[in-house]
Every structure is written in structure tokens, then in C-alpha cells.
Amino acid sequence: MASGAAWGIGMGLDAAVFKSASTMEQEFPDYRFQREPVTGECEVIHPEGVNLAPDAVVAIAWRIGNISLVGHLREWIAGHIGEGSALERLVLYSGGHMGDTIEEPSFGELERDLGLIESSTDAWVREFADGLAELIGIARRETNPIVFV
């Protein structure tokens, strides 16, 4: 569900997880990769001069929503599980915070909050919970952070 996000359509919040270097080397056995330490994004270091398409290095990309939807989600979550939740502090604090990351140590706290909202009657909230849970699972598999792009 969460894959195939539209990159950069309007102002809003998008997240991605980059493929690990080992995944990239399995998919492109003739290439060698270097991992960017903050985001986990891999670039080809051998052979020189090779640039892969952006989609080739992304394990999952997801459009969380436009600024208005992010605000709705933030308000709903604050009203149902309280202000200052991990979801609010780490994900929904702004309608667009490109370049920020969420590392593995925070995944458990996010999953606890997701458990409190996943059965919401609000379809947007359920879709958000499902999408973020999928991002977390893929981030764990790829041993990379969630990156806001």
C-alpha cells in the first residue's frame, strides 16, 4: 500500500527508506556501493560515473499527506492519545520536514503509539497507521532509518 509515493507533488510530508548496501549489491552485483551515514542512501562507487535512477535505491517511498492532512492527523492523535506522543514528536510535528530521520531506537515507541490508533474509525488515521507500520518494517529489514524526503 505505502510504496509508489508521488515525490514532491505539492507541499506535504513524504517519507522513504533506502535500500541497504547489501540489498543494492545483490540487485546490482557488478557495482560497489558506499552508504551515506545519516540517511542510508547508497551511491555507486565502482564503476565510476554510474548513476542509478532514484527509484533503484529506494526500498519504499510513501506520501503521508499534504500539510492539511498532516495537521488533521496531528490534531486527531493529540486528542486521542495525548499531546507529545512519539507520532507527534517524530512524524507529525510539521507538514513538511525534509531531511529529518527516525532511527531504529525510536521504532518501538512509534509502534506502541500505532497500536493505540490502528483500529480508529477514521480512514485517514488507519491508512497513516498502516503506512507507518510498513515503513518501520522495511526500515528494520534494510537496517536503515526512515527519511523525510
- Between 1 and 51, where is the model more confident? 51
Task: Say what the pTM is.
Answer: 0.88
Q: Of the candidates 135, 123, 141, 9, which has an alpha carbon nearest to the alpha carbon of residue 65?
A: 9
CB 14 within 8 A of CB 61: yes
**pLDDT(81) > 70:** yes
**pLDDT(133) > 90:** yes
Q: pLDDT tens, 23-80? A: 999 999 999 999 999 999 999 999 998 989 999 999 999 999 999 999 999 999 999 9
